[in-house]
Amino acid sequence: MKKTLLTCLICASLLSLCSCSGNSPVQTAGSSSEAQNDNGIEQVTLKVWAEEAAFDTMNEMIESFKEAHRGEAEFNITIEQNLDSKTKDVILGDVHNGADVFPLPDDQLSAMAAAGVLSAIPSQEEVSAANTAESVAAASINGVMYAYPMTADNGYFLYYNKKFLNESDVSSLERILEVCEEKNKEFSMEFNSGWYMYSFFGNTGLELGLNDDGVTNYCTWNSTDNSIKGADVVNRMMELTSSPAFVNRADGDLPAALASGKVIAAISGVWNSTDVEKAFGSDYGACKLPTYQVAGKQVQMASFTGFKMMGVNYYSEHLEWAHKLADWFTNEQNQTLSFEKRNIGPANKNAAASDAVSKVAAIQAVIAQSEYGKLQRVGNKFWTPCVEFADNILAGNPSHLSAQKMADNLVKEITASVID
């Protein structure tokens, strides 16, 4: 009951955001609680959320922030562990005890802004100018920025082993599979995940997205009107996955498979770059996704793209300082530090243009693929139907459904009401 009530409140708020044409209440840094020590210096207590892997880098940033503002306040800034993917659920569960500053993926932004937990940034023009247009768009709703862009590498692309595959080979999925079959090697991707499966539908003219209610989906993956029909894509997916070289593998299992020497090409993201480079050594390669042939056309495989950003809790007792800290975490200096320490692709234009970043194959592959990518904007009804659809294909379609019926069933589930 509690979960249903929360969902209803978020849905209502989303409708309000969508209908206000940019005139919805904008929550920016305002008054703060200003406790002072015996010397009249403001005492500022801030809580920051981060994943454990980021602790060392974040602590370094916090120390430099304190030094930059020495004498302006007495700071007590602590970090607590929290998964970025869980930020929305955790903070909506208890906003008043949530962190003052926290990272979040871009697909959580709309629901959090609608629920009123994000404070819009006060320095929008300055932050917009410093970061890529795509990362700014991902952090904005109706022209208002609700978070500070932080990363621009949350997408996927193709890793390949140059010992077996050359640049011409990796331009086509058909050729990759052909080489893999010849060499008794594997092409790996998490096919039964909607995140990756989207790559087959995305650039075909068939559409997917979030409705104006911010909750339900629209999807034309079963269309019979396009030059490339939904059934054409389904049939081609069944053909490609039937190759003995095509291996459906959970992304988290890729490092172990790479170590075995069987995998020579894989679709994944920068988070696996260290393991891929270790496995392929001097033959390590990364590039945009290949094309694949469907309905007589060679179609560039698509991708979901994503960004991470730093948000500020509207209910922070030190809202102005929380904004200053979030801005500090995401400035050019610290996006560069995150790249140097953790190989994270920056959203800041200057940091991204550095010679060091330009030499990282995985980040350059993300950038190259982003031309064919789309922000992940889908409701929760998207994910489970994709798993069931893909699992049926991988099992060889045991019910012998037509490709059109498979597409129809998939679209029916993806576009279902949230209460179905």
126 and 182, same domain (yes or no):
no
Tokens matching residue 161: 């082993």
Do 319 and 295 belong to one domain?
Answer: no
Residues 295 and 204 in one domain: yes
The first and second tokens of residue 412, run together, are 């029916």
Would you say residue 2 lies in a domain? no
Mean pLDDT calculated for residue range 48-72? 96
Residue 300 and residue 337 in one domain: no
| Cα dihedral: 134, 219, 230, 167 (round 10) | 20
Residue 243, pLDDT > 90, answer yes
**How confident is the model at residue 279, as a pLDDT?**
97
Binned at pLDDT 50, 70 and 90, residue 229 comes out as very high
The residues with which 42 forms a beta bridge, in sequence order, are 36
Query: What percentage of the chain carries pLDDT values higher than 90?
Result: 84
C-alpha 157/C-alpha 288 separation (Å) is: 5
Q: Choose among 116, 80, 123, 110: nearest CA to 95.
A: 116
| Selection from 305, 270, 307 nearest residue 105 by Cα | 307
Cα separation, 405 vs 71, whole angstroms: 68
Say if residue 194 is in the same domain as residue 316.
Answer: no
Burial annotation 228-243 (CB, 10 A radius, 16+ → b, else e): bbbbbbbbbbbebbeb
- Domain range for 199 is 162-305+379-414
- The answer to whether residue 209 is domain-embedded is yes
Beta carbons of 184 and 301 less than 8 angstroms apart: no
Residue 60 inside a domain? The answer is: yes
In DSSP notation, 178-242 reads HHHHHHT-EEEE-TTSHHHHHHHHTTTT--EEE-TTSSSEEE-TT-SSSSS-HHHHHHHHHHHHT
> What pLDDT is recorded for position 209?
94
Asked if residue 383 and residue 241 are part of one domain, the reply reads yes
Residues 170 and 277 in one domain: yes
Q: What CATH number corresponds to the domain at position 385?
A: 3.40.190.10
pLDDT tens-place string over residues 344-388 = 999 999 999 999 999 999 999 999 999 999 999 898 899 999 999
Dihedral of alpha carbons 202, 394, 406, 389, sign: negative
Q: 301-333 pLDDT, tens per residue?
A: 999 999 999 999 999 999 999 999 999 999 999
